Chain A
Amino acid sequence: MDVKTQNTSDTTTTTMSGSEALIHCLVAEGADLIYGYPGGAIMPFYDELHKHQDKIKHVLTRHEQGATHAAQGFARATGKVGVAIATSGPGATNLITGIADAQIDSTPMVCITGQVGSHLLGSDAFQETDIIGISTPVTKWNHQITRVEEIPEVLAKAFYIARSGRPGPVLIDITKDAQFAEFDFAYAKCDYIRSYTPTPAVNDTEIAQAAKVINEAKKPMIVWGQGVILGEAENEFKAFVEKSGIPAAWTILGVSAIPTEHPLNVGMVGMHGNYAPNVLTNGCDVLIAIGMRFDDRVTGNLATYAKQAKVIHFEIDPAEVNKNVKADIAILGNSKETLAKILPHIEQKSHKAWHQKFKDLYAIEYEKVIKNDILPTKEGLTMGEVVNLINKQTNGEAIIVTDVGQHQMVGIRYADFKKSKSNITSGGLGTMGFALPAAIGAKMGAPEREVVAIIGDGGYQMTIQELGVIFQAEVPVKIVVLNNEFLGMVRQWQQLFFDKRYASTTMKNPNFCKIAEAYDIDNQKVSTREELGPAVEKMIASKDSFFLEVMVEKEDNVFPMIPTGASVSDIRLE
């Protein structure tokens, strides 16, 4: 390689191509594991990637959507920025679902797309698409590079924006000529953009006001979200919960920030959450929301949501405050900082009688729902017992990656998580097909952890081609398909709200084990309780990837359930 080095006034620059510069930018940002799919407009970059395999491992997914979900899985398991690469046109548009997913679930991700030569922009050239226009509403930031000189600064900004403040996806589109062109490269990381305030300053007066309200509360309740995990505030949060003695419930993306079995953890809020925290949301006197955004699946009918309570909202994104639920006190800032600041003001309490209310309602839920789900007496297998078994076999230490649907709700309800970042799922967007590629990314990002993907038979077939990655890159992911031969969640709604008209929800499935076989993945199919235990044991004991298909009851429903438009306290147990 012909590399010329020269010294300018204060930085050392090296003459190189735009594509080589991209490699150096990625290395400087610590992105040494990336996912993608080559094609015409990104070929100069892939050529450099080939020359720098010692510095960056590139994983070829089988579809660009798979690359985004793998990058998301990687990011969620590691807390680092995930990277996905695609070519122009269809390569770029195939990223959109994953980008939209990362946007709504605040996942740090940088996508790099190739673009046709700058002289062809706007000419409807082969594989030209306006990916900047298309991705604008679903990215935190995006930018098109047409001049090679822009590369270092724009890439530095991209990583800074993706990971700072409320994280999110950034897309950088680079024309082919900018990848080929040569320039003098120098890299400086970005830590400041004039118009961008990633983390609002903490207001001490509001901290004091909030502490007073919390200390005076008789029936306070915490609902925390992913903000605790994204802010790496697990310890501060645990200290806050334990000192205040306040029952704490989680949103789906907040799960595992403190262990499931923590005595102050009272379960999940929302549509298929636990009975007690949903009912008591409308019985508490102070609702302390931490790093969550009051999604409609969490609040049910807003007109009747926690109307009796004073709401204290800890939030990093000012646009989330008062968006859905009016906050009496808003505490802006990073949860790690705000929780640490409020802790000294918090009085040590236990709220014993109030806790008992949660326990009483849990007992009702256990009798009516949980017991039958995890310790069923009927013949057919339940999703709950499978999750329960996997959980026991992995000592609650695995990363459980779930797809979207009934199994997702069951998985999140019955997995017993011991450490943070143990569940990876598509929360806000509800993207079927997320789990398989996300599990691949999670396992590659956290190879020391067991990663189990739990997927429905519908979602599995949306990204089933990513088995090719497990095969080629030898990723020891454990895959469990809970097969009810239905698009189960939609079927459940059809049963409950559309008079059992099962429109387009029955699935005639292929022989999944044969498909796994074709990719040389060990596999087993079970349909009885006797087979289940040994099969799960075998799967977890395996050092390699393993595919387990479990035939479950066809028409089981997920309860509890807050019907759409109903109040959280009108949650149904059957």
Chain B
Amino acid sequence: MSEVKTFTVNIYTENNIGLLNRISAIFQRRKINIESLSASESEIDDVFKFIIVVNVTEEQMAKIQGQIERQVEVIKAFYHTDEETIFTESALFKIKSNLLFEEPQIQNIIKESQARIVTVNKDFFVLEKAGRRSEIELVHRELKPFGIMQFTRSGRIAVTKTEMPISTLLQRIEESNEVAFGKSQA
């Protein structure tokens, strides 16, 4: 059995209601937990992108990739290990404003972690920290004793170190369609 690793799956799709359900069902059926998920536009016009993080073996990952690509509205899915990826998460901490003045340690935490103050008002301030999961967890651990009113962490967003051959793939699909049918609808 090969070892369980963290994979970042980039799924390029058409933008369609219900597709997220279709993709998440592939993981749910196999009882695989989705560690994080983000959805956004991609680098290509009219192409949507899901980034899903899962912990599975490479063998499982390859099979899941096939199942994802099988979906009619999925253009292509790629998976990469952490070593092959530049990735980050983002977190927001909402904290009582008075603590900023009464607990000097908080200012040190902000400075050392290179977190950013997004807003301050008389009741609370909001701190934003982007980075690796461990960096965010560290800030969380340090701030926790002072009281965190609200905490939210985003799913992973990532780009790969190597080229993502989606543009060339799309071009090829459209060219072959022109050859086959003498037209391009995309």
Interface set of A (CB-CB < 8 Å, partner B): 132-133, 136-137, 140-144, 161, 191-197, 317-323
Q: Is B22 in the interface zone, CB < 8 Å from A?
A: yes
B13 touches A195 (CB 8 A): yes
- The reply to whether A132 and B73 form a contact with Cβ atoms under 8 Å apart is no
A132 proximity list for chain B (CB < 8 A): 18
Given contacts A136-B25, A194-B174, A194-B186, contact A318 B72 (CB under 8 A): no
Give the docked Cα–Cα distance between A323 and B62 (Å): 9
Q: Are B70 and A317 in contact (CB under 8 A)?
A: yes
Closest 9 CB pairs of A and B: A319-B66, A194-B186, A195-B75, A141-B72, A319-B70, A137-B25, A196-B72, A195-B73, A195-B14
CB of A322 within 8 A of CB of B62, answer yes
Q: Is the interface of A mostly helix, strand, loop or mixed?
A: mixed
Residues of B within 8 A of A323 (CB): 63, 66
**Within residues 29 to 73 of chain B, which ones have a CB less than 8 A from any CB in chain A?**
29, 62-63, 66-67, 69-70, 72-73
CA distance A137 to B71 in the complex (A): 10
Q: Quick check: is B185 within 8 A (CB to CB) of the other chain?
A: yes
Determine whether B170 belongs to the interface, using a CB cutoff of 8 Å to chain A.
Answer: yes
What's the minimum C-beta distance from B56 to chain A, rounded to whole angstroms? 15
The answer on a CB contact under 8 Å between A192 and B18 is no
CA distance A491 to B152 in the complex (A): 55
The answer on a CB contact under 8 Å between B25 and A197 is no
Q: B149-186: which have CB < 8 Å to A?
A: 170, 173-174, 177, 180-181, 183, 185-186
Contact B72 A322 (CB under 8 A): no
**A142 near B14 (CB under 8 angstroms)?**
no
- Judging by beta carbons under 8 Å apart, are A136 and B21 in contact? yes
Q: What separation, in Å, do the CA atoms of A191 and B177 have in the docked complex?
A: 10
Chain A residues contacting B70 (CB-CB under 8 Å) are 317-319
CB neighbours (8 Å) of B139 from chain A are none
- Taking CB as reference atom, which chain A residue is nearest B64? A319
Which chain A residues border B62 with CB–CB below 8 Å? 322
A-B contact count (CB 8 A): 57
Q: Tell me if B74 is interfacial: C-beta within 8 Å of chain A.
A: yes
In the complex, what's the smallest C-beta–C-beta distance from B176 to chain A, in angstroms? 8
- Which chain B residue shows the least CB distance to A132? B18
Verify A197–B173 contact, CB threshold 8 A: yes
What would 26 A/B residue contacts be, using CB atoms closer than 8 Å?
A132-B18, A133-B18, A133-B21, A141-B72, A142-B18, A144-B17, A191-B181, A192-B181, A192-B185, A194-B14, A194-B75, A194-B170, A194-B173, A194-B177, A195-B13, A195-B73, A195-B74, A196-B72, A197-B173, A318-B66, A319-B66, A319-B67, A319-B69, A319-B70, A322-B62, A323-B66
Indicate if the CB atoms of B18 and A193 lie closer than 8 Å.
no
Contacts of B177 in A (CB 8 A): 192, 194
In the assembled complex, the Cα of A4 lies from the Cα of B87 at a distance in Å of 58
CB-CB nearest in chain B for A319:
B66
Residue from B14, B69, B180, B181 in contact with A318 in the complex, judged by beta carbons closer than 8 Å: B69
Closest to B62 in A: A322
Most interface-central of A132, A191, A192, A317 (chain B CB within 10 A): A192
A317 vs B75: C-alpha distance when bound (angstroms): 15
In the complex, what residues of A have CB within 8 A of residue B13's CB? Answer: 195
- On whether the beta carbons of B63 and A319 are closer than 8 Å, the reply is yes
Chain B residue at minimum C-beta to C-beta distance from A201: B176
Q: How far is the CA of A389 from the CA of B62 in the complex (A)?
A: 49
Contacts of B14 in A (CB 8 A): 194-195
| Bound: A197/B170 CA distance, A | 12
The smallest C-beta distance from B17 to any residue of chain A, in angstroms, reads 8
B-chain residues with CB within 8 Å of residue A143 when the two chains form the complex: 18
| Minimal Cβ-Cβ distance residue in B for A198 | B72
Is B72 a contact of A140 with CB atoms below 8 Å?
yes
Q: Tell me the complex Cα distance, A137–B70, Å.
A: 12
Residues of B within 8 A of A136 (CB): 18, 21-22, 25
Closest to A317 in B: B70
- Specify the chain A residue showing the minimal Cβ separation from B59: A322
Q: Interface 1/0s, chain B 1-40, versus A by CB < 8 A?
A: 0000000000001100110011001000100000000000
Centre residue among B14, B70, B181 by max chain A CB count within 10 A: B70
Q: Smallest CB–CB gap between A429 and chain B, Å?
A: 15
Closest to B183 in A: A192
Q: How many whole Å from B36's CB to the nearest CB in chain A?
A: 22
- List, in ascending order, chain B residues with CB within 8 A of A191's CB: 181
Contacts of A142 in B (CB 8 A): 18
CB distance from B23 to the nearest CB of A (A): 10
Mark each residue of chain B from 71 to 106: 1 if its CB lies under 8 Å from any CB of chain A, else 0.
Answer: 011110000000000000000000000000000000
Closest to A191 in B: B181
Within the complex, the shortest CB–CB distance from B64 to chain A, in Å, comes to 9
Q: Report the minimum CB–CB distance from B88 to chain A (whole Å).
A: 28
Q: Which residue of B lies closest to A195 (CB)?
A: B75
Question: In the complex, what residues of A have CB within 8 A of residue B21's CB?
Answer: 133, 136
A99 CB to closest chain B CB, in angstroms? 14
Q: How far is the CA of A323 from the CA of B63 in the complex (A)?
A: 6
- Which residues from A are CB-within-8-Å of B74? 195
Chain B proximity of A164: nearest CB distance (Å): 10
Closest to A137 in B: B25
Q: Residue B72 contacts which of A144, A195, A320 (CB distance < 8 angstroms)?
A: A195
Q: Determine the distance from Cα of A140 to Cα of B74 in the docked complex, in whole angstroms.
A: 12
- Assembled-state Cα–Cα distance A142/B18 (Å): 9
**B21 closest partner in A (C-beta):** A136
Most chain A beta-carbon neighbours within 10 Å: one of B25, B29, B72? B72
Is the CB–CB distance between B72 and A161 below 8 Å? yes
List the A side residues contacting B17 at CB < 8 Å: 144
Q: How far is the CB of A206 from the nearest CB of chain B, in Å?
A: 17
Residues of the B chain whose Cβ atoms lie less than 8 Å from the Cβ of A192: 177, 180-181, 183, 185
Min C-beta distance of A126 to chain B, whole Å: 23
With a CB–CB cut-off of 8 A, which chain B residues contact A317?
A: 70
Residues of A within 8 A of B180 (CB): 192
CB-nearest residue of chain B to A138:
B25
- List of B residues within 8 angstroms of A194 by Cβ: 14, 75, 170, 173-174, 177, 185-186
Closest-by-CB residue of A relative to B29 is: A137
Chain B nearest CB, measured from A224 CB (Å): 22
How many whole Å from B180's CB to the nearest CB in chain A? 8
Interface-central residue, A132, A136, A191, A317, by most chain B CB under 10 Å: A136
Q: How far is the CA of A270 from the CA of B144 in the complex (A)?
A: 59
- A320 contact set on B, CB distance < 8 A: 66
A318 contacts which chain B residues (CB < 8 A)?
A: 66, 69-70
Considering the complex, give the chain A residue whose CB is closest to the CB of B18: A132
| Contacting residues, chain A, for B72 (C-beta < 8 A) | 140-141, 161, 193, 195-196
Centre residue among A318, A319, A321, A322 by max chain B CB count within 10 A = A319
Cα-based distance from A320 to B62 in the complex (angstroms)? 11
A317 to B69 Cα, complex, angstroms: 10
